Chains A and B, each alone.
Chain A
Amino acid sequence: MIPDDLDDEAAGFRATGPGPDAWRTALNRFVAVIPHTRELGLEVVSVTPPNVTMRLPWRDELLGDTTRGLVHGGVLTMLLDTVCGSAVLCSLPAPEVCPTLDLRVDHYRPALARLPIMARARVLRVTESIVFTEGILWQEPERPIARGTGNFVRLGSRNTPPGFGEALFSGVDDHAG
């Protein structure tokens, strides 16, 4: 699944920059600015750059099978896209706008109603143009419900709106972690 022994430096990830607490605050702001994730109340639980853990609280709109009480598969795809995209942000020397190039989701078992869904993503490799990520979802530990592989395009600082990175961290103490 997600290898823990992957060398972050070999992956092209730079360990400088804001610490975990500053990133958690910044990414909580990021998902609160995205209308869809704000509407769903998505929370950033912890960040150890470039690993991100999120929690999607339960609400009835997430259902796909009301009879059996199962989550809609599309919710899982949306969540993997969001958590992987957030990991991308904290893997770069400075935040850039990085749209999803492609995403592949394997469905291991159904997600159950009335439980929050946990999501964790990490960055496997950063190149000049692409960031490679993977993410995993679960409700009970050791029982993954879906796994995603997402590749994101780096638009670079030239195509990132001025103030994008600053807006994430404004008012956040950079050394708070």
Chain B
Amino acid sequence: MQDDFHDVTWLTKTRAEGDVASWLARLPYARFIGISASPDGEGNGLIYRLEPHEYNVGNVLLPAIHGGVVAAFMETAGTLDLMLAAREPRLPRIIDFSIDYLRTARVVPTHARCTLLREGRRLANVKVTAWQANEEKPVATARLHFVLSTPEDPSG
């Protein structure tokens, strides 16, 4: 195994184990801004988390987390959640991304939950909602379109 996303054996194994931590460990920018994932307490999939690092701040006056960092967090969550939720191990490539900012993201942990709205043969649509103290009061919603490709089989 090459232990990376392009190795279908590794991808299949980590996916079966729900080992999103191994995926995040291989995404330097996601690691840099401080993304992690843990199971939702009620068994409803994963909740992603963004650390409120000082260098994630985008507005020192409010202060607030950089809107672009919140976007990068939600994009990462949407990508990984799709890799888990898809019918088979496939690698998503982003076509486009759209985010609506609803409230100021304070310098506290931010959480996100994803919903796979459509998985076709080649395309997928994922919705992501991010919040801080209260899931009922989201700080942002986002949606992504992806092209799905099949990872390489090293034996073939």
**Chain A residues in the interface with B (C-beta under 8 A):** 33-39, 60-68, 71-75, 77-82, 97, 99-107, 161, 164
Dominant secondary structure of chain B at its interface with chain A? mixed
A75 and B72 within 8 A (CB): yes
Among A38, A39, A74, A106, contact of B96 (Cβ-Cβ < 8 Å): A106
A36 and B58 within 8 A (CB): yes
Q: Is B95 an interface residue (CB 8 A)?
A: yes
A105 and B28 within 8 A (CB): no
A-B contact list, 10 entries, CB within 8 Å: A63-B29, A72-B27, A72-B29, A73-B94, A74-B68, A74-B72, A75-B72, A81-B71, A82-B58, A105-B98
- The residue in chain B whose Cβ has the minimal distance to the Cβ of A81 is B68
A107 and B96 within 8 A (CB): yes
Distance between Cα atoms of A74 and B72 in the complex (Å): 4
Digit string of B52-68 for contact with A (CB within 8 Å is 1, else 0)? 00111111110000111
List which B62-99 residues lie within 8 A (CB) of chain A: 66-69, 71-73, 75-76, 79, 93-99
User: What chain B residues lie within 8 Å of A102 (beta carbons)?
Assistant: 98-101
Distance between Cα atoms of A79 and B101 in the complex (Å): 16
User: What chain B residues lie within 8 Å of A77 (beta carbons)?
Assistant: 68, 71-72, 75, 97, 99
Distance between Cα atoms of A74 and B34 in the complex (Å): 13
Digit string of B13-31 for contact with A (CB within 8 Å is 1, else 0)? 0000000000000111111
- Segment among B2-10, B37-45, B111-119, B130-138 that sits at the interface with chain A: B2-10
A66 and B73 within 8 A (CB): no
Among A33, A34, A74, contact of B73 (Cβ-Cβ < 8 Å): A74
User: What chain A residues lie within 8 Å of B69 (beta carbons)?
Assistant: 36, 74, 78
User: What chain A residues lie within 8 Å of B60 (beta carbons)?
Assistant: 33-35
User: What chain B residues lie within 8 Å of A63 (beta carbons)?
Assistant: 27-29
Shortest distance in angstroms between A72's beta carbon and chain B's nearest beta carbon?
Answer: 4
A101 and B56 within 8 A (CB): no
B67 and A66 within 8 A (CB): no
User: What chain A residues lie within 8 Å of B57 (beta carbons)?
Assistant: 34-36
A105 and B96 within 8 A (CB): yes
Shortest distance in angstroms between B66's beta carbon and chain A's nearest beta carbon?
Answer: 4
Shortest distance in angstroms between B96's beta carbon and chain A's nearest beta carbon?
Answer: 5
A67 and B5 within 8 A (CB): yes
B97 and A65 within 8 A (CB): no
A104 and B76 within 8 A (CB): no
